Amino acid sequence: MQVLGDIMNLWDTPARDLDSYIETHLLPDTTFQTEVHRAIHTISNFLKDRCFRGTWKSVRVTKIVRGGSSGKGTALRDCSKVDLVVFLSDLRSYQDQIDRRREFIEEIKKQLEEYELEQEWMFAVKFKVNKPTKFPQVLSFSMKSNNISQWMDFHIFPAFDVLGEKPPN
């Protein structure tokens, strides 16, 4: 077995040691995985229970689909991406999604900033500046738990649920 610095070379790893190599060098540790799951749960609950309440009474989150490496459970060490496709009740068509996505992204960001300030959160949030476009597609931000040093990248995609129930006219 050849060792490069303190990391064993994958190509020289015998087949019987591959599981150990993956666990030791590629998979995130359990503390990080726990914090990622907690962050996903926190953001999902915020979107379902808090976001769009009050001034946006007609809008509700009907479903959230997780993606990205952490959302699917395929994250690697020091690399965590969570994609959340957020289906909204107020979108009536795919064109409506395109036309109104900016307002939903801005409202989610605004409410998430307010929520972070109101709560004594166990997470810090940093929003990423997306290239300005007429039709933005995603709200991107990073979260970091007070319990770990790594940041988790989140991408929230407001979407029309083409397969879901039709909203009333």
Summarize pLDDT for 106-119 with one digit per residue, the tens.
Answer: 999 998 888 877 76
C-alpha distances (whole Å) from 13 to each of 6, 10, 74 are 14, 5, 22
Locate 45 and state its tokens.
């609950």
Count of helices and strands (H, E) across the chain: 4, 7
Query: By percentage, how much of the chain surpasses pLDDT 70?
Result: 85
CATH number of the structural domain 16-159: 3.30.460.10
Number of residues assigned to the chain? 169
pLDDT in tens, 119-154: 666 777 888 766 666 667 899 998 888 888 888 889
**Region 32-54 average pLDDT:** 88
pLDDT at residue number 127: 82
Q: What is the pLDDT of residue 62?
A: 92
Is the pLDDT higher at 12 or at 54?
12
Token reading at 5? 């610095």
State how far the Cα of 141 lies from the Cα of 155, in Å rounded to an integer.
Answer: 7
This prediction's pTM: 0.80
